[in-house]
Amino acid sequence: MTESKAPLSLNKAGQGDTPPTAPHLEGLNLDWAGYLAAGEYRRALAAARLTQPPLPTPLISGLESLHDLQEHVRAHKYAQARRSLTRLQEDLGESGEGLSLLRRAASLPELGAALGSLEAAESARHVEPAELQAALAPALDVPLTRAEALNVLGVLHAIHEENAEARATFEQAVAADPGHYRAISNIGNLELQAGNFKEAEAAQRRAIALSPDFAGAHHNLGVALRRQGRLNDSVKSIRKGQRLALRRMREDAPRLSLGGARGGQSPKWLNPSTLRIIGLIVAVVVFYLFLKGR
């Protein structure tokens, strides 16, 4: 007997259920759901945007919100992360294909509590690592925030001059999130303190590759280059870090001002002359750190 088969439905191109892959996309891994499950939100978003036929708009929007949330947490921008979380909650309130996968991956109640613990720990200013670790327990338990919580804990170990514990904690952060450039930069700072200047340079360059606009890594790279006697390259890195820091200050100022919440107007004191003075202060501070080699 021959096995009976149900006829395949045809798409407009006359093919089977699976649409043909565009030639320029052949060989690419577009398994956005697999990337999502692995916590690789940038790749999940990129794959979802390329998937054919196009995925539902609410799903793409939700992936964008989740990706933005991770980027803000990596950058220590908790207020912006909170806004991305609100958008994600709104996106997941929609109905559509694939959103159930996103809901399971996001785990909103746990994610909200994790972000809240990061915010609360920053305000509380814990002085003992054990106390801080307990306060950050919700963030340590969630994949998206675990690396940030470990980085915060590592910084406190470093402040206590517990360099071995700090190094181990930063390395755990990078293992949890290889894209957490601030933790990588902090490892470079420890290498610098230990006199391992080439290793410090490599770590800062790795952080810059992940986040080219991260001012701290450019400054730290400049210090590592100075310790190797490469003064011209050092000055270039220090100056670039200074420019990026000033640009970040200008970008953040409207959000931090009362006027920024009312029609985007900056307060009167934020005029060009004041910004130039702020820039000069930043330059002096950066130059001082440059001389001190810290």
DSSP state of 14: S
Whether residue 246 contacts residue 281, with contact meaning beta carbons closer than 8 Å, is answered with: no
For residue 53, is the peptide bond before it cis, meaning its omega torsion is within 30 degrees of 0?
yes
Q: What is the pTM of this model?
A: 0.78
3-state SS record for 119-141: HHHHHHCCCCHHHHHHHCHHHHC
Nearest C-alpha neighbor of 152 from the set 179, 182, 109: 182
Nearest C-alpha neighbor of 41 from the set 118, 114, 145: 145
User: How many whole angstroms separate alpha carbon 143 and alpha carbon 147?
Assistant: 8
Angle in degrees, 0-180, between the axes of helices 231-256 and 272-292, rounded to the nearest 10: 140
Length of the chain: 294
First to last CA, the chain: 81
User: How many whole angstroms separate alpha carbon 252 and alpha carbon 189?
Assistant: 26
Q: What is the pLDDT tens value at each position of the chain, 294 positions in all?
A: 433 433 333 333 333 344 444 555 556 788 999 999 999 999 999 999 999 899 999 999 999 999 999 999 999 999 999 999 999 999 998 877 789 999 999 999 999 999 999 999 999 888 999 999 999 999 999 999 999 999 999 999 999 999 999 999 999 999 999 999 999 999 999 999 999 999 999 999 999 999 999 999 999 999 999 999 999 999 999 999 999 999 888 877 655 444 444 344 444 434 444 445 555 555 555 554 444 444
Whether residue 289 contacts residue 245, with contact meaning beta carbons closer than 8 Å, is answered with: no
> What ranges do the domains of the chain cover?
29-99, 118-175, 179-294
Task: Give the fold, CATH level 3, of 179-294.
Answer: 1.25.40
User: How many whole angstroms separate alpha carbon 107 and alpha carbon 94?
Assistant: 16
